Structure 1
Amino acid sequence: MLLTRATEYALLSLDTIRQSEKPIGAEQLANELCIPKSFLAKILQNLARAGILESKKGAQGGFILMKEIDEISVREIIIAAEGKAPAVFDCTQYAATCPNGSIGTCSISPFLATFQRKVDDFLDGLMLGDII
């Protein structure tokens, strides 16, 4: 499972947004966190599409949290930021070279499925409020 800077920036942004008493814009966040604005804007839009943030328009606009920090799971943040669910092992990228000929039939598939469920359960139970 590889989490990229997108997840890191999402978590840092959410922490800054939760501390703000008013909506905070992408440019201000980018400057405060030393993050490229265009990259951060994409992450913030993904968080808004996922229902984690709300984007307010206008002169006093910016981003605010849509939910309480104890209602936002780290897994949903990762999915929004990365554009996909975190995977312990992504067999699909090796489908053409799988020695067993098909995905999910190798001897370690049951272990990988169990491991993935445990990671998913952990990340679903870990809330933003637990880490900030």
Structure 2
Amino acid sequence: MLLTKASEYALLSLILISQKNTPQDVDTLSSQLGISKSFLAKILQALAKENILSSFKGAHGGFLLAKKPEELTLKMIVECAEKKQTMVFECSPSTQKCPGGKGTYCRVWPILNKLQTKIDLFLDTMTLKDIIEI
């Protein structure tokens, strides 16, 4: 599983947004984080589409958290930012995707599946609040 800049920027943005009581606009956030405004806008729009953020239009518009930080798991955030399920390997969640054919698996699959389970558990239990408090 490769976490890209999209996940990193999503997390950094959510940390900044969580520290404010008013909507934060893309211009301000991109300037504070030193990242592309257009790339950040796409990430924030995806987070809003999945109800991680609330989006407000207008002169004083921007983004606020739609949920409390303790309700936002890393898995929710990462999967939204990456636009795909978190996977160690394509076949790690299920033998149905194993290149050896449906229902069959290679000798490595049990190890990959155990790793996937541990990663999923970690991402499901770690929240935005946990990151903010570090």
How far residue 101 of structure 1 moved from its aligned partner, in angstroms, is 3.3
- Aligned residue for 1:108? 108
- Compute the TM-score of the two structures, normalised by the length of structure 2: 0.87
How far residue 88 of structure 1 moved from its aligned partner, in angstroms, is 1.1
Runs of 4 or more, structure 1, over 3 Å off, are: none
How far residue 91 of structure 1 moved from its aligned partner, in angstroms, is 3.9
2:42 counterpart of 1:42: yes
Q: What do the CA deviations read for 1:17-50 (whole angstroms, capped 9, x no partner)?
A: 0111210111111111111000000000111111
- Aligned residue for 2:25? 25
- Aligned residue for 2:117? 117
Consecutive unaligned residues in structure 1, runs of 5 or more: 93-97
AA matched with 1:52: I
Counterpart Cα distance in 1 of 2:130 and 2:9: 17
- Compute the TM-score of the two structures, normalised by the length of structure 1: 0.88
How far residue 90 of structure 1 moved from its aligned partner, in angstroms, is 2.2
The answer to whether the 8 Å contact 2:23/2:61 transfers is yes
AA matched with 1:105: Y
- Aligned residue for 2:15? 15
Consecutive unaligned residues in structure 2, runs of 5 or more: 93-97
Counterpart Cα distance in 1 of 2:3 and 2:100: 29
Counterpart Cα distance in 2 of 1:21 and 1:68: 12
Greater mean deviation of Cα atoms: 60-69 or 112-121: 112-121
User: Among the aligned pairs, what percent are the same residue?
Assistant: 50
AA matched with 2:58: G
CA-atom RMSD in angstroms: 1.7
How far residue 110 of structure 1 moved from its aligned partner, in angstroms, is 1.8
- Aligned residue for 2:77? 77
